[in-house]
Amino acid sequence: MRLTVLPDAAAAATAAAGWIASRLREALAARGRACVAFSGGDTPRPMLAALAAYPLPWPAIDAFQVDERLAPAGSTARNLSMLAAALPHARWHAMPVDAVLAGRLDADGAALDYGRVLAAHAGEPAVLDLVHLGLGDDGHVASLFAGDAALEALGTDVVATGEYRGHRRLTCTLPLLARARDRVWLIAGAGKASSLAALRVQDARIPAARLVGECDVVFADAEAAARIA
């Protein structure tokens, strides 16, 4: 993986936003549209704010979710609330969490439904132009956690997880994430230092190490990179 260490979280976010904008322009030039998936959490907020300032043709950009908690609409636990507010002009394709909560779909059915949405826009098998990822303090990526069956899912692009820190989730699987043309990671904060050090050496004990490879670009702040030799 290609690691760039910046002095602080703001600089890392700005650099990641510029890299994403460049790759989206390349995808648009090559195919006339772009398919990108974003992760949630607090770390990408400044990155998305910086990205929104770029004069990109957002209506031609299909935006997907990497993962989402099964939490009510408007809840601070929902990734979509932050993502759609940050990039309001992108063509968002929300994970069908509301359908699960309303009883119209079960979690497994919702995962299959979102897989069909991905295929309709990104081909079959779906190939995303770009995926933005974060890194958990326990080494997870997307909502793929150690010991959860979702981490081993190979024949599908989206699955439902077991409960983790209070919520079940829908998540993109390793095969879908691995097929992306580009992957960019934004990692910030001292709490991520151990996980980033493990990711750097592809320590198989953390789920994220099963994904990272030569095409991955990582932007990290100095605190997150503190344990890298």
Q: What digits encode the pLDDT tens for the residues 116-164?
A: 999 999 999 999 999 999 999 999 999 999 999 999 999 999 999 999 9
What are the sequence ranges of the domains in the chain?
A: 2-221
78 in Cβ contact with 169 (< 8 Å): no
Is the pLDDT at 4 greater than 80, yes or no? yes
pTM: predicted TM-score of the whole model, two decimal places: 0.96
Sheet (strand 67-69) strand order: 67-69, 169-172, 158-160
* Cα 142 to Cα 134: distance, rounded to the nearest angstrom: 7
Q: What is the CATH number of domain 2-221?
A: 3.40.50.1360
115 in Cβ contact with 156 (< 8 Å): yes
